[in-house]
Structure 1
């Protein structure tokens, strides 16, 4: 099968949707398919709209059996798809809708119109969660489609899943209660809400935030907020880390926390659960398909920092409460899909279209 994939920027090992796309390409190539990656320029949203002309010029002569498009690229493709060869199915990989992010009313309305027009221009969908499928169904026919959850087994060479003994030893260890957040530093990830919630927790805790800065102003505001809350010494921003470094951070932590304003599913949470970390995630999005509240983590309102405080405070006072949560998180990881299974499900769907 000849496959094209449209993404913004280089297809690398960044977290979230890029990780999903990268693993999908690896799986398709391992199955013998020929995958051509078409990289469009990463620019502000309004400039991306101008790229429809150049994108059409690059895609109209592409000889493939099926064309995959990361839905993130929708502003650069909204006027392209109606002009492409009708014989080639166009399939959108939807991680989450941009119009569901925190924008002002005018911007949200405009982006919703552009995004809806794009979604109505494709022939099929790959969804990362049932929740993401529901968001598309609100604006257009969500079929034909496949729901293929992201996996978290990329750290199998770094000792995941961890065993019971390691989990119990970590809980019994000395030192601060260690919280880790993994994701790009941008407003949607709600690190500010996490800081506010943790600042009210009495006890000895530390927060490590791992991720690339994609919004410099927001990153600076987080440092200012930490100073205002008096928790600067408890918070570390590491930037991006290698897989080995990230695995080490996850292995030494007690809790994964990323109460995003919206998350289509949450690959980082799956990966963290492989290290036996309960996941504190947002009720906005598809994370509840992974995390069961107070069983293997916590599902909280991202706009309510007190919910974060209420979840973390008991664990900080009595770490033995972590043991059943951590074991359940690891078991949830063990029962979750692998990247091989995810890519096979997508491949079968594409073959059906072709």
Structure 2
């Protein structure tokens, strides 16, 4: 194996799906024999300042032509395409989901991110994505040739403990506090099933202060403050305990390029209530739960009610979830796909345009 670089913006220890993916793949690649240099790009991406953009491009341009670099899509899609042209190293883009698919973007920002990501993807040696859905989006909307893309589904660690559901049933939601995750929809749905006995915990870092304040206000307006916990970021071990205590996993997401948390729910044998948005339908197997249209609190509430009031249906979904959870790949499998792609391009430096 040879030397490669892995460029990620911000704090690599951040507890979100994308950062967990990057961190685990880096470690597995090292275990496979690759020398992996971590390049810490500025934290401002995907909305960098001019100085952060200049600093990121300088780090990437300093890489030698024989050191392939994997660039996380949170930064790659927002890089200045003219600056990307000056990177000598072969580029492999890791696109968790296209940046323009983020919820709440104004049209100007959405169009700018689409244009920069499309231009940058035309300059890569290869592309890695977590799902067939994202691969299709890049082919049909971004012009990436299908034969240049490899699907590296996220790995998952099988849990060591057993499920210990609490009474009343715990509804668990895991996702950072951003509009795309739809926690506002979940809260409105929970407000429609207050006649049932349940508790809910929403786990996820408060990355958007305005949205977090909106969630707090909505929880109070719905009269849910005694039944719902906005837990913020939770460490791995206590989060595992929450999965074991839960009876239902619920995420009212507006879009997912994959969604590692769904695999977490599957390996813990949890029925899943979510939305038919992005890659969710490809990630959540038939029979493992209920998928409803996004931004439909009433439909989401009905799906939760159906599982809370029908114990047999809940058990059937749990059994299906657990069955598929046992088949999910590990992180070694994910890293092997990276390794195979790296071997293909290791000796193929990108031709810098004159």
TM-score exceeds 0.5: yes
Question: Following the alignment from structure 2 to structure 1, what is the Cα–Cα distance between the partners of residues 316 and 50?
Answer: 49
Aligned to 1:344: 336
2 CA distance for matches of 1:344 and 1:13?
24
Aligned length: 339
Q: Counterparts of 1:240-251 in structure 2 under 5 Å?
A: 240-251=233-244
Question: Are the counterparts in 2 of residues 20 and 150 from structure 1 also a CA contact under 8 Å?
Answer: yes
Q: Between 95-104 and 260-269, report the one with greater CA deviation.
A: 95-104
Q: CA RMSD in A?
A: 1.8
- Please give the TM-score of this superposition, normalised by the length of structure 1: 0.90
Quick one: distance in 2 between partners of 1:84 and 1:47? 18
Conserved 8 A contact 1:291-1:298:
no
**Runs of 4+ that moved beyond 4 A:** none
**1:39-76 Cα shifts (integer Å, max 9, x gaps):** 11112644345533222322222245311000110223
- 1:83 is the counterpart of 2:86: yes
- How is 1:1-354 mapped onto 2 (pairs within 5 angstroms)? 1-12=2-13, 14-43=15-44, 45-48=46-49, 50-63=51-64, 64-74=66-76, 75-76=78-79, 78-85=81-88, 88-102=89-103, 103-137=105-139, 138-142=141-145, 143-153=147-157, 156=159, 158-159=160-161, 162=162, 166=163, 170=165, 175-201=167-193, 202-293=195-286, 295-354=287-346
Counterpart contact for 2:45–2:75, Cα < 8 Å:
no
Q: CA offsets per residue over residues 183-229 of structure 1, 9 Å max, x none?
A: 11111111000111121123012110111110111111101001111
Tell me, in whole angstroms, the C-alpha distance in 2 between the residues paired with 1:15 and 1:331: 25
Cα separation, partners in 2 of 1:337 and 1:49, compared to 1, 3 Å: farther
Structure 2-normalised TM-score?
Answer: 0.90
Structure 1 contact 292–299 (Cα < 8 Å) conserved: no
| Structure showing the higher helix proportion among its residues | 1
- Contact 2:63/2:87 (<8 A) preserved: no
Q: Helix, strand or coil: the match of 1:217?
A: helix
| Distance across 2 between alignment mates of 1:101 and 1:228 | 27
For structure 1, which segment, 13-22 or 215-224, has the greater mean C-alpha deviation from structure 2 after superposition? 13-22
Q: Which stretch of the first structure deviates more once superposed, 225-234 or 313-322? A: 313-322
Alpha-carbon deviation of 1:300?
A: 1.9
Cα distance in 2, alignment partners of residues 24 and 77 from structure 1: 26
Counterpart Cα distance in 2 of 1:257 and 1:7: 29
